[in-house]
């Protein structure tokens, strides 16, 4: 083989190698991206479950004749804001995740204040419907935490892959960008103390 043929074969081999790496890397990024989107849908589903419980909780609490109206209004307003903050799975960037988390955090805060206020109403705490709703809410909060952790794991795997060489080259070419994480909520370093009066 002469030098010219060796050069041509080397170029063809390099192109095939890069093409193979590109196809493999692209397919892997697509799989990881779909995993992130699937994890996101589970997060949204759990937050939706919590949102769906709130009207029943508010209705039950309204039954207490002298219950603080401002506390209920705060919960209703925070729920409305949280349900309006929607993110397209194609735009899971850090800024959008932070906006979503802030809206959900405001709802969590309003619910916490509601449950603290309920402590002043022994009849309401003794209400079976209210206790059942509290149990469901507590279970939903645990599922939200699990879904958020699973989402963060999926995002970490995706973000790590798109930053590794040589995938980083193809990630930029095909528009795969970094996705955002859920961060710890303010005060998360302290264990929550929620007493449902059981």
pLDDT (tens digit per residue) in 83-107: 999 898 889 999 999 999 999 999 9
Nearest to 181 by CA among 43, 78, 83: 43
Cα–Cα distance, 84 to 71 (Å, whole number): 20
Report yes or no: 40 and 151 within 8 Å, Cβ to Cβ: yes
Report yes or no: 64 and 124 within 8 Å, Cβ to Cβ: yes
Is the pLDDT at 188 greater than 60? The verdict is no
Is the pLDDT at 196 greater than 80? The verdict is no
Tell me how far CA of residue 127 lies from CA of 69, 121, 132, 139, 160, in angstroms.
Answer: 19, 10, 9, 19, 50
Nearest to 92 by CA among 161, 173, 176: 176
What is the structure's pLDDT at 189? 46
Q: How many CB atoms lie within 10 A of CB 197?
A: 14
Nearest 5°: CA angle at 124, between 120 and 130? 125
Confidence class of residue 82 from pLDDT cuts 50, 70 and 90? Answer: very high
Nearest to 148 by CA among 46, 33, 80: 46
pLDDT (tens digit per residue) in 12-29: 776 666 665 556 778 888
Q: How many CB atoms lie within 10 A of CB 137?
A: 20
Fold of the domain spanning 3-174? de novo design (two linked rop proteins) (1.20.1440)
Confidence class of residue 65 from pLDDT cuts 50, 70 and 90? Answer: low
Instruction: Please name the residue that has the structure tokens 């906006």.
Output: 99
Is the pLDDT at 76 greater than 60? The verdict is yes
Cα–Cα distance, 109 to 189 (Å, whole number): 16
Question: In the Cβ-directed half-sphere of 73, how many Cα atoms lie within 13 Å?
Answer: 3
Instruction: Please name the residue that has the structure tokens 């309401």.
Output: 124
User: 121 or 187: which carries more pLDDT confidence?
Assistant: 121
Average pLDDT over residues 126-153: 91
User: 166 or 65: which carries more pLDDT confidence?
Assistant: 166
Task: Compute the radius of gyration of the chain from its Cα atoms.
Answer: 25
Q: How many CB atoms lie within 10 A of CB 118?
A: 24
């Amino acid at each position: 083989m002469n030098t010219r043929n060796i050069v041509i074969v080397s170029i063809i081999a390099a192109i095939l190698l890069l093409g193979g790496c590109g196809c493999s890397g692209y397919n892997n990024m697509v799989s990881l991206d779909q995993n992130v989107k699937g994890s996101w849908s589970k997060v949204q589903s759990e937050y939706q479950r919590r949102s769906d419980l709130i009207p029943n909780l508010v209705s039950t609490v309204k039954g207490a004749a002298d219950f603080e109206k401002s506390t209920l209004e705060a919960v209703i307003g925070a729920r409305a804001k949280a349900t309006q903050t929607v993110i397209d799975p194609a735009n899971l960037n850090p800024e959008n995740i932070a906006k979503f988390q802030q809206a959900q955090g405001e709802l969590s805060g309003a619910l916490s204040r509601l449950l603290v206020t309920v402590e002043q109403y022994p009849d309401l705490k003794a209400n079976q419907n209210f206790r059942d709703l509290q149990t469901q809410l507590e279970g939903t909060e645990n599922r939200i935490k699990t879904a958020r952790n699973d989402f963060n794991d999926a995002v970490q795997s995706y973000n790590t892959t798109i930053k590794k060489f040589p995938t980083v080259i193809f990630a930029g070419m095909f528009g795969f960008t970094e996705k955002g994480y859920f961060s710890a909520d303010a005060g998360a370093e302290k264990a929550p103390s929620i007493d449902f009066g059981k």
